[in-house]
A = this chain, B = another copy of it.
Amino acid sequence: MEFAVDFGLRLISQLQSPTIGFLIGGMLLAALGSKLTIPSAIYQFIVFMLLMKIGLKGGMEIRNAELSDMFLPMLFAVIIGVIIVLAGNFIFSLIKSVKRIDGIATAGLFGAVSASTLAAATVLLDEEAIVFEAWVPALYPFMDIAALVLAIVLANVHSKKENETSEEKVDYWSIIRDSLRGSALSALILGLLLGLVTNPERVFDSFYEPLFRGFLSILLLIMGMEAYERLHELKRVAHWYVLYAFIAPILHGLLAFGLGYIAHQLVGFSPGGVVLLAVMAASSSDISGPPTLRSAIPTANPSAYIGSSTSVGTPVAIAVCIPLFISLAQIVFNI
């Protein structure tokens, strides 16, 4: 009972946070037909700035990190990405009205990670003064790539079964390479490297760090507008997607929270790290995922996977899962 009250109060207070306020504000703007737009050049720049900042911070901290501490969460990130895609594939295979290839692509996108949802979570952890190892966001590519690669492999296996004449082999390495070359992972990894091998403290403190919170507020505004505008895409796909997109982020996050808790017990993984691992699992990719899947699984219907992810999955991940896992951590870890 006390848990429910405590959780309810925390949930309400986090809904009043400006971070989520901007997301809801964007949805309101779109709902009311506002002509306000953020130019795409600004959007691209904002994404670059956010990921560089996350990467630089991670790189600067990995220098001081115990790599042995990082290994287990890294392994868990890969395992979570794999489990999400396998589970999603299995669930959608039970629903006959959903095309197999669409189900696989959707599972892949929900296994992949949203860097901006992750960024929002780091800000909220900061506001709650919950510490986490700065290398935690660097776990992102491990879960992301594992999920996307596996989804593409499953899609290719499925196509092969349908069309036995096809002799083409899945080029695993090229899929990994394309993921790493995408603008999102490129910026994150570049930031990591520069944080690792140069001394970017001054430019970080004078530029990337102070602008982060503001640019994130604008990104959330954009995401809110997009989420609303793509709601209609869901009308064309089975209602099953809505159900999956509502429930899956919470279950994925709880699975990751459990594995994170094990890492906490074994290697002292921080409470904030456990929350971030859970948020990574709960989030679905909004930047790197869609173009990757669209080019690698061209037969899948983007309305299915983008619609369920952007319209339902991401709002649930930000507005439900982030406060849920923060509250859970505050109770489980007694902080």
Contact = CB atoms under 8 A, between A and B. Distances in A.
**Which bucket holds chain A's interface residue count?**
35 or more
A182 B29 CA distance: 11
Interface in A213-228: 213-215, 217-218, 221
A190 B23 CA distance: 11
A36 interface: yes
B36 A48 contact: yes
A302 interface: no
Given A203-B18, A213-B206, A40 B37 contact: no
A49 to B, nearest CB: 9
A33 B213 CA distance: 30
Interface in A161-217: 177, 180-183, 186-187, 190, 193-194, 197-200, 202-203, 206-208, 210-211, 213-215, 217
Contact of A29 (B28, B177, B190, B208): B190
What is the count of identical protomers in the complex?
A: 3
Nearest to A39: B41
Nearest to A15: B198
A38 interface: yes
A206 B53 CA distance: 15
A177 B25 CA distance: 18
A97 interface: no
B202 A37 contact: no
Contacts of A38: 44-45, 48
B207 A213 contact: yes
A47 to B, nearest CB: 10
A265 interface: no
Contact of A214 (B180, B181, B199, B207): B207
Contacts of A183: 34-37
Nearest to A177: B33
Given A38-B45, A45-B38, A199-B17, A25 B190 contact: yes
Given A29-B186, A206-B213, 14 more contacts: A16-B199, A18-B202, A25-B193, A25-B194, A32-B180, A34-B190, A35-B181, A35-B183, A36-B48, A36-B186, A38-B44, A39-B41, A42-B42, A203-B217
